[in-house]
Structure 1
């Protein structure tokens, strides 16, 4: 039976550390600030925002919701981003995606300041992650995976790691982050031939393909560390991951649950990025 890697435990420990950092900043009259920008009111996005606001409040970060009308023009959207770029009380900006069809992500993603881009929307930050350059902001979800591995003392050096999923939001940036820790990486996806052969070789297996319970028991090697990034809903409306948890936990050595795993850590990582962005601004003005 696998040990459960609790994301809630990781979030709590990291949150306590971040509270201390915010208290230090506040003693100097500095309050880290986050602006969350949403166009419209998608229920899934609003649910995430509610969780992020709660986490920021717990840690002591000022969290501002910038809710814009669905029919906002692209020009007006860019103007609002520029205003936030110039606002000295805003240290981090999170743009909720997807944006409405009439606002091109490929155009507007360049407008957010890389120094305030705390969830890696601007390609400048993506480039830093992919090249291994320090100073940028990686996406919050793969960063949450790394926080879990670090919290539980799971070493990556020399380990065979397999990531199922190649998105720019999770799979590819996570691969680069793990590669920097000297893991031996294989990136798979839903089109990989004989996927089970690849996944069963993994000492560390990350499922991030967005397909409910696609990782079955016979696809996991005995004793493997299994990190489930997926958030799906089955035919009964129950939340589940990309891993068939109940079956896989019998062969894995360690496993994250869904819910209560990676998703529990992402909003705390967002707060961590905001605090770092705040410190970077202070250092640049010193």
Structure 2
């Protein structure tokens, strides 16, 4: 069994991106800029923003944080996004999710949709998600892109493999399934209403799990020598961070597995900044 070390891999990607940025800056160009919008004071969101700030500063990028009170009007947030859309010095714009509970689903969607697709560094607008399913491609959602990057770094073959994606969210499950399909895997999307779930999962060469249920996947869901990608982040009854996979039960049965923490999480940040650098390179050429 090999642990897919997302933390180590994200640091290696950071070092490569840093050199790439420095080469562009050395030619007289500005540094990349990412603007992050946060609403309210969610502890986990603040932690994630801190991680992004640290990673970005190590890269040599400018990170600008915009904070709104929890009771802010939707139109205030959209007004700022529209201003950032027009700013040629801003490469990427993202909303730190989740928004406070006061914002219903349609508010979150309308706020996300106000981001110009050319600056959608998190790949969560409907246009970005649609492009993933097309031949055109585009900026991929950060978490699925990070998973694909991690598999690539470990030289894990995707083409011809039977892949099961457990979870169907627009943020992870659906775009991840599209990315596997584009790499010639045979893909099954499973979810809470799927019958014979254990049987379906146990046929997967690559099993990616993002259902928000702590340690739900045990060894009897897993094919021998499978690759197991744990996308979940949950707290167990003792307050420890755990995934959707029972790591200790599953690890002896699979060939590769991601830990929680230290697996998919760091790769999400690495892919976010990979997306930023991709947009930045286009922008410095366009506005040169």
- CA deviation map 1:141-184 (0-9, x unaligned): 11110011000000111001111111111110000001000000
- CA deviation map 1:60-110 (0-9, x unaligned): 111111112222212211111111112222100111123343571232322
**In the alignment, what sits opposite 1:217?**
219
Q: Matched residues in 2 for 1:132 and 1:252: separation? A: 33
The runs of 4+ residues in structure 1 deviating greater than 4 Å are none
C-alpha displacement of 1:241: 0.6
Q: Matched residues in 2 for 1:219 and 1:194: separation? A: 11
SS at match of 2:64: strand
Q: Matched residues in 2 for 1:18 and 1:52: separation? A: 14
**In the alignment, what sits opposite 1:92?**
92
**In the alignment, what sits opposite 1:115?**
118
Query: Is 1:76 aligned to residue 79 of structure 2?
Result: no
Q: Matched residues in 2 for 1:12 and 1:156: separation? A: 23
**In the alignment, what sits opposite 1:276?**
278
Q: Matched residues in 2 for 1:199 and 1:99: separation? A: 32
Structure 2 portions without partners, runs of 5+: none
Q: Matched residues in 2 for 1:249 and 1:63: separation? A: 38
Coordinate RMSD, CA, aligned:
1.3
C-alpha displacement of 1:13: 1.3
Q: Matched residues in 1 for 2:264 and 2:91: separation? A: 25
**In the alignment, what sits opposite 2:195?**
193
Q: Matched residues in 1 for 2:75 and 2:7: separation? A: 40
C-alpha displacement of 1:222: 0.7
Q: Matched residues in 1 for 2:98 and 2:207: separation? A: 28
Q: Matched residues in 2 for 1:155 and 1:284: separation? A: 36
Corresponding pairs, count: 284
Q: Matched residues in 2 for 1:259 and 1:132: separation? A: 34
Query: Is 1:229 aligned to residue 228 of structure 2?
Result: no
Q: Matched residues in 2 for 1:99 and 1:260: separation? A: 24
TM-score for both structures, normalised by structure 2: 0.95
